Structure 1
Amino acid sequence: MIEMREPIIVEFPLRGEWLSPNTPGTKIPSHGTNKLGTRYAYDFIQVDWERKGLPAYRVSFLQYLIFGVPVNEYYCWGKEIYAPCDGTIVKAEDGYKERTRTKLLSDMSNAYKNAHYFDPKKDDEQSVAGNYVIIESSKNLYAALCHLQKGSIQVSVGQNVKKGEVIGRIGDSGNSLAPHLHFQLMDSSDISTAKGLPCAFEEYELFKNSAWVKVRNGIPKYKDRIRFQ
């Protein structure tokens, strides 16, 4: 994609194997809207690569559909999140209530409403981002990591962080259908008005033709099986 030819390069913010169901490597805007700095945003989940449909949870699909799933039954829930770049913490919002169980229809309804009808003049930013951290990497360059587990954020405003430093854990707070990490680069620390910036990851591995292949400055596509150690 032409507008992704010169992305900003950062380190992958997770460890282990991941899939990106929403990625600018497949479509732009990746989340169906340019609002809230999400034009080039990524979502990351963990799945069972051996099960049909690549479920992100341990229970059956029928249980997911009818009863929902406790968040601790999702493979990625509670996994550590790492700073993708050196910088300074400019926002670290914790304490937002995290749902204990996913409920497909109500969660989809809330997600659509928040994504398309969010009003920065009256709506709480955390209703969308949940518990989140924003790192200022340089002038007009900010990294946002959203939907973190309540009580997991390990950094505070004004703190300097190094690339690869643990900042929190994956949760299901805010505008989230299920536990996952939402990651984006922006031109402002204000999510409600920021414009998204394209980014790629300096190094990860892609599972291709039954082997792991190293990728540099890559942009994962939908259904790519990737890992970073």
Structure 2
Amino acid sequence: MIDAREPIILQFPLRGEWLSPNTPGTKIPSHGTNKFGSRYAYDFVQVDWERKGWPAYRVSLAQYLLFGVPLDQYYCWGQDVYAPCDGVIVQAADGYKERPRTKLLLDMSNAYKNAHYFDPKIDDIQSVAGNYIILKCADNVYAGFVHLQTGSIQVSVGQLVKKGNVIGRVGHSGNSFAPHLHFQLMDSLDLATANGLPFAFEQYELFKNGKWVQVNNGIPTNKDRIRFQK
């Protein structure tokens, strides 16, 4: 990371094998913007490592491009999301409907519209974030879990959670190209105005040279095959 601030250390918020196509381990800002507290945000998907291009869906590339993909054909859709630290839930917004399938051109159009025309004073933040949870980890440190599956949020505002508790499931709500977990740390609970905070994961494994090796306080790149089992 090319940044003067020391990253905060958190537990990995998922279980199993993952890829982070957008990560501060590769570029900062990781999503090309500092808006919405996303400067150091990660996206996580599950892929088929044996197929060319590491697709995140079970269908063919032609079907993805021509017809879209039903959400249940994505490997990560519905996977549990875990609290990465002890804390208190300060926001939990559910009920925002997911589109039933991905459609590349429509999803790109939505992304462009939200990136260029979203006005936090008048627009609903759920049009960008979908279903989301904000967890207060410490003073001025808030974890954001975005694009969650509709109806999956298992916590409520004011609830105390422990590191490792299940809090929701990976979804495709809001401004999302495909089912994934968007995960970030911020200095405020307000997604519309927060600044992102740098962070790393206290432990995970990296598949390297045909074997799994342990990484401590690591920041995966967008090519890393990683896993976390607890």
Equivalent residue number for residue 222 of structure 2: 222
TM-score by structure 1 length? 0.98
- Secondary structure of residue in 2 paired with 1:88: strand
User: How far did residue 116 of structure 1 move?
Assistant: 3.2
Query: Distance between the aligned counterparts of 2:131 and 2:147, measured in 1?
Result: 5
- Secondary structure of residue in 1 paired with 2:66: helix
User: How far did residue 6 of structure 1 move?
Assistant: 1.4
Moved more, 198-207 or 5-14: 5-14
- Secondary structure of residue in 1 paired with 2:3: helix
Query: Distance between the aligned counterparts of 1:149 and 1:72, measured in 2?
Result: 11
Contact in 2 for aligned 1:94/1:150 (Cα 8 Å): yes
TM-score by structure 2 length? 0.98
Equivalent residue number for residue 195 of structure 2: 195
The unaligned stretches of length 5 or more in structure 1 are: none
User: Could you tell me which amino acid in structure 2 is paired with residue 95 of structure 1?
Assistant: G
Contact in 2 for aligned 1:4/1:199 (Cα 8 Å): no
User: Could you tell me which amino acid in structure 2 is paired with residue 57 of structure 1?
Assistant: Y
User: Could you tell me which amino acid in structure 2 is paired with residue 170 of structure 1?
Assistant: V
Equivalent residue number for residue 165 of structure 1: 165
The unaligned stretches of length 5 or more in structure 2 are: none
Query: Distance between the aligned counterparts of 1:60 and 1:195, measured in 2?
Result: 39
Query: Distance between the aligned counterparts of 2:81 and 2:108, measured in 1?
Result: 25
Quickly say closer, same or farther: Cα 1:5–1:50, change in 2 above 3 A: farther
Equivalent residue number for residue 26 of structure 1: 26
Equivalent residue number for residue 95 of structure 1: 95
Q: Does 1:207 align with 2:200?
A: no
Q: What's the RMSD between the two structures over aligned residues?
A: 0.9
- Secondary structure of residue in 2 paired with 1:212: strand
Query: Distance between the aligned counterparts of 1:93 and 1:104, measured in 2?
Result: 26
User: How far did residue 97 of structure 1 move?
Assistant: 0.7
Query: Distance between the aligned counterparts of 2:51 and 2:76, measured in 1?
Result: 16
Identity of paired residues, percent? 77
Equivalent residue number for residue 70 of structure 2: 70
Equivalent residue number for residue 10 of structure 1: 10
Query: Distance between the aligned counterparts of 1:109 and 1:204, measured in 2?
Result: 35
User: How far did residue 112 of structure 1 move?
Assistant: 2.2
Contact in 2 for aligned 1:45/1:181 (Cα 8 Å): yes
Quickly say closer, same or farther: Cα 1:19–1:4, change in 2 above 3 A: farther
Superposed CA offset, 1:101-137 (max 9, x none) = 0000110111122133321011101011100000001
Aligned length: 229
User: Could you tell me which amino acid in structure 2 is paired with residue 113 of structure 1?
Assistant: K
Quickly say closer, same or farther: Cα 1:8–1:34, change in 2 above 3 A: same
User: How far did residue 5 of structure 1 move?
Assistant: 6.1
Equivalent residue number for residue 148 of structure 2: 148
